[in-house]
Structure 1
Amino acid sequence: MEIFEGHVSSPSFKNGVIIASGVFIIYILLNLLFSNKNFYAELNDLAMAFVSFIAFLSIAHAAKVSKVYSQKIYVAWGLLAIAQFFWFVGDFSWFFIETFFKQVPFPSLADLFYLSYYPIFLLGIYFLPKRPLKNDERFNSALDIGIIMFSSILVFWNFLIGPMIDTNLSSPLLNQILTVYYPISDLILLFALSILSYRRLLNVNFEPLLLLMVGALIMILSDSIFGYQSMLGTIQNGGVSDISYVIATLVICLAGVLQVNALISNARDDYKISEYSLEVPMSYIPYIWMIIPFFLLIWGHFHGTYLSFTTIALGVILIILMTVTRQINTLKENNRLYGELHSINKDLESKVYKRTEELLNANKSLQNEITERKKIEDDLKIKVELLDTATDSIILHDVTGKLIYANEKAAKMRGYSKEELMKLNIYDLNVPGESKFTGQYIDELMVKGESIFESSQYHRDGTVIPIEVNAKMVAHNKDLLILSTARDITDRKENEAKLRCYREHLEDMVEERTKTLEKTNKMLQNEVDAHEKAEKEIMASLEEKEVLLREIHHRVNNNMQIISSLLNIQSNYTDDPETKHVLRDSRNRIRSMAMIHEKLYISNKLSKIDFSGYVKSITSNLLQSPEVNPDLIKINVDVDDFSIGMETAVPMGLIINELVTNSIEHAFPQGEGNINLNLHKNGETFILTVRDNGLGLPEGLDPKKVKTLGLSLVNSLVEQLNGSMEVEVENGTTFKISFKELKYAKRAEI
């Protein structure tokens, strides 16, 4: 419900529990700190009134929010809010009378408000939306509630009402009435909770009502404790009864908070609350509750009770009769429902089986018919489309010349629409003296069955169309029809005439041209011989240059390997770790460039290098360093299969060498980690990603402004490639470099 948005706010239930717990703790602290003070009774009364007021505000807010959701729920929660308001006024009146009039507040005006709470609470429960019960459901619910109430009346009368009457016989009549009315009100409250438990409520949130029931039960317990202590004269401010009242009021307050939260949540989720009832779990409560009178009966037999043993026994018998009646009614209902279910199930199975068989047969027949009809329709559709898309004129007519069918080409070729052509006779289109659609032609066709010939017909504009006709006799419904396929040969006739003229002219030109070609052929042969000789000389020169270029790459590779070896030997003659580190990095850089010449030396093309293999060689070389444990540091290489020129390969090899070396040396202080190297081509752009799961770059370090040789070299090489570099520091370090292959003057492919 969008109407909730922006109009309703409420603390979450979790926060409500925290606040309620805080209020309860403060109340307990007040009892502990001020229990010996003269003003303690007034302070305790004020605290209880404050808690009641909070509960009233919570229930009233829940009622206000419920109005948007449902009018019936609004009325019910409104009555509950009024009931809580009366309880608050009672608490405040008690505080006011005891504080300002210095009188004992019992009996007083406060009792009027307290006792009003119970019937109004009962009305609130009654007005909750519910599904009407059937007669048998209503009867069973009445029996269950009766068992609970009779058991409760026996207990209350024996332990509270009866003893309280005897205790207050010497008191004024009003005191006696009020003393008895409180436990009777508790029975009214218990009756309301029983109704709430056995009714099938509609569109009502269950959890708030459950909290409301718990609060009411604690309220009944508090009243019972209060009455029992009043009878014994042991009531004290801040005692068990007051603490129980505070707990009950706070639980009722939380019920209001939970109601608001539930309504807001349901509205946002566009959720409709389904019907719910406690009928199933509550169906066992009467049987548990009826045990109480049995214990009361046993207690009375051995210890004596206010009620006579006979009275309790009669009550137990009445409860047993209601329980037996409930069971008999339940068994009858179960048997009736089982019989109806069995009958319905049997009838349904029969109908389903019969209907299923009918549907299967009908479906099979219909499927066959649909398949056949669809096949025919598809065949007809295909045939019509084929005929209409044919490049030739197709006409079907009888021996009298009446048209039966003509395709689109037949009408278009003669300048008519298809409808106009179908109204004509085939003989209306004949050109006298030139057309063969005559009676004699029909006789010959009937004898031969098929004939191919040339003829002429009129166009709609009066011009003559030369056509080539393929005519065939066909039988249809015992009638002989003629299927004529015609093709407009106007272009062919014109081309034949032109061809005859061209042929004569061509013969003269061929004779003259033949003499010229013989002379030219000799000249061309001489040129071909000269070109073949020059081509052989060029190929020999190219082969010589290729051998020379491969030798150059080989010698450059060997020289770089010698430099790498010299650096390696030099590093063995120094003990300075920094010097060793510099020499090792220089050796790896030289090795990465030497690999390019090595790859070009063994490559089929000297202008391109297989970059995928080159990258794998670089990473493999770095893992062979004595300082690296290949079992702990893994390099995962994912490079597309492509070749690039040496101008791009050299800086890219150095960049990869620097970034991987940087990760190996600085990213894994524990000596263990993973490095992912990806190089993919997207159109003309290459994207290089080097990612490790190590410590990451130091905070505040800008890789583009760092002064170290490695990263400075990377920045310089990225700029040389006209590329861009991005650095991410999250769960390690990621370098992402985008560039395009450098374009130089094209070299000859070798």
Structure 2
Amino acid sequence: MKKIENPKPTDTKIQTKILTSILESSEDAFINTSIDGLITSWNKGAEQIYGYSDKEVLGKPISILESPTSAGEMQELTELIEQGDRIHHYETLQLRNDGKIISASLTLSPIIDASEKLISILIIARDITKSKETEEKLQKIEEKFRKTKETYNVAMEHTRQIIYDYDLRTDKCIWAGAIEEVTGYSFGEFQRLGKNVWVLNITQTNMNRLDGDCCDEEAVEFKEEFKMRKKDRTFICVENGGICFKDHEGHPYRTVGVLKDITTQKGTEATLAKIDILRKQEIHHRIKNNLQVISSLLNLQADQFSNRECIKGSEVLEAFRESQNRVISMALIHEELYKGGELDTLDLSSYIKELAENLFFTYRLSNTDISLKTDFEENLFFDMDYAVPLGIIVNELVSNSLKHAFAERDKGEISIKFCRENIGECRNDIEESKNEECKSANFILTVSDNGVGIPENLDFENLDSLGFQLIFSLVEQLDGEIELKRNNGTEFTIKFIVAEYNCPI
């Protein structure tokens, strides 16, 4: 065995210089203290961490580095070392020269002599302030994320929503949220069965079931509603809304969306719709009743005048009757709206026919047999902006014929014709026009009689008659035109255009 010679003094000096160089170049603090806690050595790293030069701290107690919250801590650590313990990476708060508190990681090691007697303590300190701040930030972020996730999960469960992320390229879908509450399937069942458990249970939808076609060539966002069968075979209404991601060529490769149970919402909407229908019906019913009251009052007032000998057969009674008929024409509109299924639009053909029959009953010419001929196109529906003026026009023209057209005649005929002419984008072919909207439609109302007619020398546009003044005013309101033919009686033709008229199906 080769005997190892004792190192030469020069070798020891070299090793000492190397060690000293290492200690001085280290960013960690290397601090040596005596048994009684006085600082005996101090490197550059310690100066950078604590802000003291070696001249300021040598011979000073190590306790000057203690923060107010850790007073006496260094003495306790020294006692542990004296008892034979070693301390590694002990984290604490310490005080810099400028009064700033820093986080430090301390490692304490005993320095013993040849007789294994403790002669000093080496403290290696590392500034971990930045890493602790980063750690605290991360903890706060994690805590915030955890709380957000908890809130999100609670929100998803209470709002009955499911989030999905579907990759069209791999045909894999990730689900999260109130899966069991919405579908009746547990999360494990839903994840195991995949998207097919959802797709196969969709019963009514106008979308293409998450196969990527829900993203058309232009749309990025989408929203659809459909019915879905749950695990217990009951049905719910579901809203599917989300975003479609596309590659540089415009091909969809991923959809992210939210499936929401809107069964309660749909039920509420249906209830509100019924309430709205009942409300409108009640409004039309009350208006009709109020107009009938006005008509009755006019009738009573006319009866008061009829008892006076000087007024019988005068224009006053005729004015009362005409006013009464005008009120009734408006009351009939609200009666039709109240009785019919539609509350905003009126079947004008049915309304005009009833209005004319009411006028025939009102005037009841005793010695004249007058018949009514009607020719109406079916399913012509108008809102009140058109129905009211058209009703009053028919009332005035039919009343005028009943009063004046058949004087000294024993029979006659009044004819009413109402039809539509397709223009714009409307088509004559019924099948082609289904489910489409017309840009505009031209309508023709014709009221005629085979009576004595209006004399040629009479300018009907300038007659001093309230009835004709009403007719011209209402035709102008419809933005229409009126034409009179005097051949074989009297024929009035009113033409008007309705923009955005829905073609009947």
Q: What TM-score results when the alignment is normalised by the length of structure 1? A: 0.30
More strand, by proportion = 2
Q: What TM-score results when the alignment is normalised by the length of structure 2? A: 0.44
More helix, by proportion = 1
* Structure number with larger C-alpha Rg: 1
